[in-house]
Amino acid sequence: MATLLLSFACFSQIVLENISVLDNKITLLAPKGFTQMTDEMVAVKYPNNANKPNWVLSDEDGKVNLAYSFTKTELDDNGIPGFTDELITGLKANRKDIRFIDDGILLQDGKNIGYIKFISQAKDQKVFNYFFYISVDNRLLLFNFNCINKWRDKWETKAEEIANSIRVKSE
């Protein structure tokens, strides 16, 4: 019985691996075994084209996702704290279902990484969201890690590791 429990504990651990995104400009950790979401699944999950990310990694059920959008928003590293305030204000104005958990600025390799954690309501359940963002080539690169809220305890520290792992490759 003890061997069975030990084996289960080993298999249920979340493993992260290094990946490169945005034409190899960025490296970060991502959940091992996640795959790029199909265009069909992206269309279902993000029906509003305005909010459709450039790239989405997902577990096989689409219940845990890591996405990014390389926006046209001009933003340098010093603009990250102000953007955090703007994003929170915009979310509060447009989404009455959101419950904010935390926000702040991480500092990695001299770069500001802003983040906001919140719970939102999807069609059929609550969702834990961890937005984190950085300036790349003076444009906003916005990541969204999300999972069903009942899995928050399992995933929140991993989402923090992912956000803290972002590195902009020097040219």
Residues 70 and 141: beta-carbon distance below 8 Å:
yes
Give residue 144's pLDDT: 96
User: What DSSP assignment string belongs to 114-156?
Assistant: EEEEEEEE-SSSEEEEEEEEEEETTEEEEEEEEEEGGGHHHHH
Give residue 12's pLDDT: 60
Q: Which domains does the chain have, with CATH numbers?
A: 2-168 (3.40.1000.10)
Give residue 6's pLDDT: 39
Taking the chain (171 residues) in runs of 10, the rounded mean pLDDT of each run is 40 85 95 92 82 91 93 96 95 93 94 96 93 96 96 96 93 57
pTM: 0.89
- Collapsed DSSP state (helix, strand, coil) of residue 39: helix
Q: How many residues does the chain have?
A: 171
CA–CA separation, 146 and 142 (whole Å) = 13
CA–CA separation, 159 and 116 (whole Å) = 11
